[in-house]
């Protein structure tokens, strides 16, 4: 099991520094298919049809609610673009990588 997926997000109200590019790169190596783009990480998931896409989006919303850490998502017929960034610190936190790992685990179900 991915160590990140086993962790729980910690509340972030700001007041901490975003991860450095070096630290973000270390976390990124623990994920598959995610891309680092400036202050955020992103990944596109593809599906066979709209029903599978929406089922994934609903499950993603449930995980996000439980972790209290929410991505920006864009949904199409057979794809879902997921973008994580910790808005309270205007950059990346460990929470972004924890949630990305949880969503990857969800996708593999």
Domains within the chain, CATH numbers bracketed: 35-107 (3.30.1360.20)
The model carries a pTM of 0.91
DSSP 48-73: SSHHHHHHHHHHHHHHHHHHT---EE
What's residue 109's pLDDT? Answer: 66
What's residue 107's pLDDT? Answer: 78
Token pair in block for residue 103:
């969503």
Tens of pLDDT, residues 70-108 = 999 999 999 999 999 999 999 999 999 999 999 999 877
Tens of pLDDT, residues 6-48 = 889 888 777 889 999 999 999 999 999 999 999 999 999 999 9
What's residue 1's pLDDT? Answer: 42
């Amino acid at each position: 099991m991915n160590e990140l997926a086993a962790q729980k997000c910690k509340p972030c109200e700001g007041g901490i520094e975003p991860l450095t590019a070096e630290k973000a790169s270390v976390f990124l190596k623990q994920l598959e298919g995610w891309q680092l783009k400036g202050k955020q990480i992103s990944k596109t998931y593809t599906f066979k049809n709209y029903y599978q896409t929406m089922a994934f989006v609903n499950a993603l919303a449930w995980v996000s609610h439980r972790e209290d850490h929410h991505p920006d998502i864009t949904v199409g017929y057979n794809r879902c673009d997921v973008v994580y960034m910790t808005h309270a610190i205007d950059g990346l936190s460990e929470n972004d990588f924890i949630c990305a790992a949880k969503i990857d685990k969800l996708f593999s179900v």
